[in-house]
């Protein structure tokens, strides 16, 4: 395990660097799966892959318009939202909003196609949209699979650990949001600890709480203590996950959070959460049609709240087993859905979110890896701008898994290298090397190889490429054993990024005051 | 494991069917990873993914021409080949052939861009080239990882088993070639047993022996006993792997086999076997340049032997660890090489071979799966026509693994379903379903779902999508445990396809005669 020996224990997540972008290839190759200097968000130089032609896209867009006009989208338990739609010219029947042809698209003209998501360390700022791809960790699991192989409820300690790991992972560009549910903290207070953990233990951009409007307000208030009031009102410092209640419903909770964030100019990721066959038709085209209608309605609503507020076209796509009703991941149909949704988002001019490292497996085995890899390869090639669940997702999202987090983040490094594409410079063409070596010789020692080998190939810190005999001598370890060891070594060597003590105190005081104002609630 | 219960024990590999192609989607969904009726080769309806633009392609083509003209390619220990090149207008210095600009491309004008590879059961014929993709099992491993978890030398019994499994796997379109090395049979005789096993235990198209010209002749002779003399001389009934000895060398053995097969109109897969950094430059563009030059020379040579003989543009791409020298798989750089090589092949009008389910792992764990999935997703999207090593490859190709074969063939089913793309028919659009269900309801029981759920989603026979609790009750099995059980059940229920007893006798007699003519050799 030469790679592990070479890379572990550097604890370089602690370093902040201000290198130029020219070193991207070197870093993408070298820092591999080991903790190393964080890499900037991905700027894709490879093309996108598209599964729909113009005719197919037009069919889906036309059908989505029919949904919006004739069937309508429900905005539930939110009279304010219905009033806003009425004022905008929509026809509201009960809680069902019917949109005149073209209304949503017209509203979305004010939404930015690209924007900066600010981190408290400006070197960690990321771009959302265009050719940028940003990875964020798993979101939402109530359970963890811990380093002793136990599956148990997640705690605030687990939450902090995943924030630390995401901070140290070179190709994780964001600290994420609910990296797991800290169920040992009262449900009405845990958002305060979560947001604080992101700020305290990482300096990468983080996501806000969406489970109630007042928790969204807390998120914004805490962000203001870090970034300043004016900065927050004029810049995106949180990205916030607003799921549609598919099919064709937005509920009070999501609308409440959406309104808070959009009003404060914070980004909403409007994401139909689709298990095809249950929340959408069993077909790819039908699912895409419904997704487009839902996003058009939800995203346009952000522009009613505040024209110009950043908003993403989100898609969470899985299928259900028609035998058991269980969700399935990494299968062809959700991949086709996501590829198609990315195309629809580009045509709308909205940044796009989908994919990740999704799986149904209960352990980080080959099932988990196949499902995750099928999803992640699609995620990159679709041209996804924001990738939630990029590492650590296990068991249909019910568990955050430490070992899988490590395995996944290694794969994120591969995707980051892949995105650089083919170097066609003189050096990349390597004609000197080919002339120097000639037929029948080898390239190991030639000048070109010596000059380039540090940057040539992605180096995994977890893959075992040794001989069978060497692997046997080293204890016949599986990748999750190596991931376990690497994870422990990262957590041992973690060092927090500097945080202004005055800001830390202000945050702590805010949290204490807010917690004191509420009784504990656990449901 | 409802899927397994539903699918196992059908032993439907034994069935031969003559269904129309219209049922492709249904079969691609239903037969999943379980043994079921074999599916026809893939006819891709999805686009290809390309990483090089016109300018990049031209740079590489121009550089490859420089290699051919100025550096040259060696044809070693084969005076006949050098004479043929001299006669064709090339300049031969020693064993080094220098090709005038355009000679190889001109020669390749007679090579077919698409052809039929015939099986003894015409229903199993496959198309090579164009939008067709054909999967074949792992090729060449001297070891197996058996169903008891032992790693040991492969035997003829293992060989037969992998032929049987490939026969039963619905998305395996070919029986392959050296699915493992039967090292218990003398090295100079084992090709006879291998070819016989393919004919006897499968009716899918098979590959020929390439380890010596006389073994290639034996392959052709045996094929003639099955297909008839004239048929073989005028049709492709074997596909044959001709590796370049990179960099820029073809050796006596490969040239000998190439000449035999091309003379008999059998297909050669001219494949530079590249571990970048050792056999080619460490860069993608440099590697592509060398690959193109090698293929141009080797493939053009088949047309010198017999104009019109089918030939493929092959690429085996991996990188080496610059730390240990070990080959690595599933990393970004070989994927970029293969994507680019596919583009170069299409521009030449040659069918293309690359990829598979490659990995360096010693066990079918998440490393094996990530590496395999990264390779296989690329293989499909690159538009690969012939895919060797599509199932069973472990440990850098040193071992054929039963469990991994089962896991891989399930993934092949996913790729086959993916290749169908998006159904944009009225039924695919599903507007009736969306109208019927409406906001806030679910699609499980709607008419459209009921009519389509059998074909909607790919069904894996190996993925566990159940709840954690159910998985726990069922013994916390990993996917390789389920693959092991499924593999045993397939082998138990295997039934050979019918074979004309007269042909069988003729083959047996031929083999006996040939074996009697040689002493046993084990090296």
Q: How far apart are CA B346 and CA B129, in angstroms?
A: 9
Going by pLDDT thresholds of 50, 70 and 90, the confidence category of residue A325 is confident
Q: pLDDT tier at A11 (50, 70, 90 boundaries)?
A: very low
State the maximum Cα–Cα separation within chain B, in Å, rounded to a whole number: 78
Asked if residue A171 has pLDDT above 90, the reply is: yes
For the record, the structure tokens of B14 come out as: 């034994």
**A372, B31, B147, B493 from B11: Cα distances, Å:** 30, 11, 19, 5
| B349, A389 Cβ separation under 8 angstroms | no
CA distance B516 to chain A (A): 37
Is residue A5 pLDDT above 80, yes or no? Answer: no
Give the pLDDT confidence score for residue A20 in this predicted structure. Answer: 36
Contact status, residue A330 vs residue B377, Cβ threshold 8 Å? no
Size of interface A-B (CB pairs under 8 A): 409
Who among A282, A285, A466 is closest to B422 (CB)?
A: A285
Nearest CB neighbour to B363, from listed A2, A67, A478: A478
Q: Which two tokens stand for residue B427?
A: 């039924």
Look at A366 and B369 and tell me if their CB atoms are within 8 Å. Answer: yes
Please answer whether residues A458 and A28 qualify as being in contact, where contact means their C-beta atoms are separated by less than 8 angstroms: yes
pLDDT at residue A134 is higher than 80: yes
B439: tokens are: 């906001």
Predicted-complex ipTM score: 0.94
Q: In Å, how far are A36, A126, A134, A389, B137 from A172, measured between CA atoms?
A: 11, 11, 8, 11, 36
In chain B, the residue whose alpha carbon lies closest to the alpha carbon of A465 is: B360
pLDDT digits 0-9 by tens, A407-443: 999 999 999 999 999 999 999 999 999 999 999 999 9
pLDDT at B455: 85
Determine what percent of chain A is predicted with pLDDT higher than 90. 90
The rounded distance, in Å, linking the Cα atoms of A103 and A503 is 43
Contact B72 A439 (CB under 8 A): yes
**What chain A residue is nearest to B337 in terms of C-alpha separation?**
A422
Given this model, what pLDDT does residue B28 score? 52
- The C-alpha atoms of residue A60 and residue B430 are separated, in whole angstroms, by 11
User: What are the structural domain ranges in chain A?
Assistant: 104-420
Question: Residues, chain B, total?
Answer: 523
Alpha carbon B15 to chain centroid, angstroms: 23
List chain B residues with CB under 8 Å of A372: 370
Interface test with B, best of A4, A251, A422 (most B CBs within 10 A): A422
Length in residues, chain A:
523
Of all residues in chain A, the percent with pLDDT exceeding 70 is: 93
pLDDT exceeds 80 at position A9: no
With H, G, I as helix, E, B as strand and everything else as coil, classify residue B340: helix
Instruction: At A414, list the tokens.
Output: 């591969």
CA-based nearest residue to B286, from B63, B50, B55 = B63
Q: Decide: A197 and A159 in contact? Cβ < 8 Å.
A: yes
For range A80-102, the mean pLDDT: 98
How confident is the model at residue A38, as a pLDDT? 85
Q: Domain B104-420 adopts which CATH fold? A: TIM Barrel (3.20.20)
Within 8 A of B283 by CB-CB distance, chain A residues are 423, 427-430, 448, 452, 456
**Better-scored residue on pLDDT, B519 or A37:** B519
- Of the two residues B30 and A300, the one the predictor is more confident about is A300
Residue B95 distance to chain A (closest CA, Å): 10
Interface test with chain B among A53, A281, A362, A436, by most B beta carbons within 10 Å: A281
Comparing CB atoms, the residue among B72, B364, B414 nearest residue A332 is B414
Residues of B in contact with A358 (CB under 8 A): none
A18-26 LR contacts (CB < 8 Å, sep 24+): A18/A123, A24/A420, A25/A417, A25/A420, A25/A423, A25/A455, A26/A454, A26/A455
Preferred mutation among B405, B434, B456 to probe A, highest tally of A CBs within 10 A: B434
Q: Provide the token pair at A74.
A: 């429900």
Cα distance between residue B496 and residue B499, in whole Å:
8
By C-alpha distance, the chain B residue nearest A318 is: B457
| Contact at CB, A439 and B248, closer than 8 angstroms | yes
Residue A67 gets which letter from DSSP? Answer: I
Residue ranges for chain B with pLDDT beneath 50: 1-22, 27, 30-33
- Contact between B463 and A328 using a beta-carbon 8 Å cutoff: yes
Q: Which residue of A has its CA nearest to B61?
A: A429
**Predicted pLDDT at A2:** 30
Of A331, A395, A468, the CB nearest to B458: A331
Span A177-184, average pLDDT: 98
B436: nearest CA partner in chain A: A71
Nearest Cα of chain B lies from the Cα of A2 at a distance, in angstroms, of 7
Side-chain half-sphere exposure of B459, counting CA atoms within 13 A: 29
Average pLDDT value for chain A: 93
- Within 8 A of A374 by CB-CB distance, chain B residues are 373, 377, 411, 414
Report pTM: 0.94
Give the pLDDT mean for A54-72: 98
pLDDT reported for residue B69: 98
Q: What is the model's pLDDT at position B30?
A: 43
> Residue A37: what pLDDT?
77
Calpha distance A317→A307 (Å, rounded): 28
User: Looking at residue A494, what is its pLDDT?
Assistant: 96
């Amino acid at each position: 395990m030469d790679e592990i020996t070479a890379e572990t224990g550097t604890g370089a997540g602690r370093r902040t660097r201000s290198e130029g972008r020219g070193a991207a290839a070197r870093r993408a190759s070298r820092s591999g799966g080991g903790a190393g200097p964080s890499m900037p968000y991905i700027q894709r130089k490879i093309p996108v892959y598209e599964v729909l032609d113009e005719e197919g896209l037009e069919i889906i867009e036309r059908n989505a318009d029919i949904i919006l006009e004739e069937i309508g989208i429900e905005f539930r338990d939110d009279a304010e939202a219905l009033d806003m739609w009425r004022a905008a010219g929509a026809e509201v029947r009960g809680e069902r909003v019917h949109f005149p042809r073209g209304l949503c698209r017209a509203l979305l003209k004010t939404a930015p196609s690209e924007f900066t998501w600010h981190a408290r360390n400006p070197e960690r700022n990321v771009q959302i949209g265009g050719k940028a791809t940003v990875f964020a960790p798993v979101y939402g699991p109530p359970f963890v699979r811990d380093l002793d192989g136990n599956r148990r409820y997640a705690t605030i300690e687990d939450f902090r650990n995943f924030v630390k790991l995401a901070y140290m992972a070179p190709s994780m560009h964001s600290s994420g949001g609910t990296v797991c549910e800290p169920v040992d903290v009262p449900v009405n207070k845990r958002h305060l600890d979560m947001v604080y953990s992101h700020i305290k233990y990482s300096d990468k951009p983080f996501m806000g709480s969406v489970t109630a409007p007042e928790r969204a307000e807390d998120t914004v208030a805490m962000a203001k203590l870090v970034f300043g009031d004016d900065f927050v009102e004029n810049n995106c410092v949180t990205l916030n996950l607003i799921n549609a209640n598919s099919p064709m419903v937005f509920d009070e909770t999501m609308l409440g959070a959406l309104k808070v964030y959009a009003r404060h100019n914070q980004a909403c990721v409007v994401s139909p959460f689709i298990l095809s066959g249950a929340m959408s038709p069993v077909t790819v085209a039908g699912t895409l049609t419904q997704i487009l209608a839902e996003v058009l309605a939800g995203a346009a609503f952000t522009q009613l709240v505040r024209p110009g507020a950043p908003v993403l076209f989100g898609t969470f796509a899985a299928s259900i087993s028609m035998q058991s009703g269980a969700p399935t991941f990494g299968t062809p149909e959700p991949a086709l859905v996501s590829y198609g949704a990315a195309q629809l988002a580009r045509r709308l001019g909205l940044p796009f979110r989908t994919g990740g490292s999704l799986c149904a497996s209960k352990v980080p085995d080959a099932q988990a890896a196949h499902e995750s890899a099928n999803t992640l390869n699609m995620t990159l090639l679709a041209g996804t701008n924001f990738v939630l669940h990029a590492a650590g997702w296990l068991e249909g999202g019910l568990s955050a898994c430490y070992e899988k987090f490590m395995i996944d983040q290694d794969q994120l490094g591969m995707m980051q290298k892949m995105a650089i594409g083919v170097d066609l410079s003189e050096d990349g063409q390597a004609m000197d090397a080919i002339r120097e070596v000639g037929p029948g010789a080898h390239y190991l020692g030639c000048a070109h190889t010596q000059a380039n080998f540090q940057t040539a190939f992605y180096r995994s810190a977890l893959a075992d490429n040794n001989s069978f005999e060497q692997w046997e001598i080293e204890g016949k370890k599986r990748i999750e054993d190596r991931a376990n060891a690497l994870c422990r070594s990262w957590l041992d060597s973690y060092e927090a990024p500097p945080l202004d003590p005055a800001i830390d105190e202000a945050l702590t005081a805010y949290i204490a005051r807010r917690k004191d104002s509420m009784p504990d609630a656990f449901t």
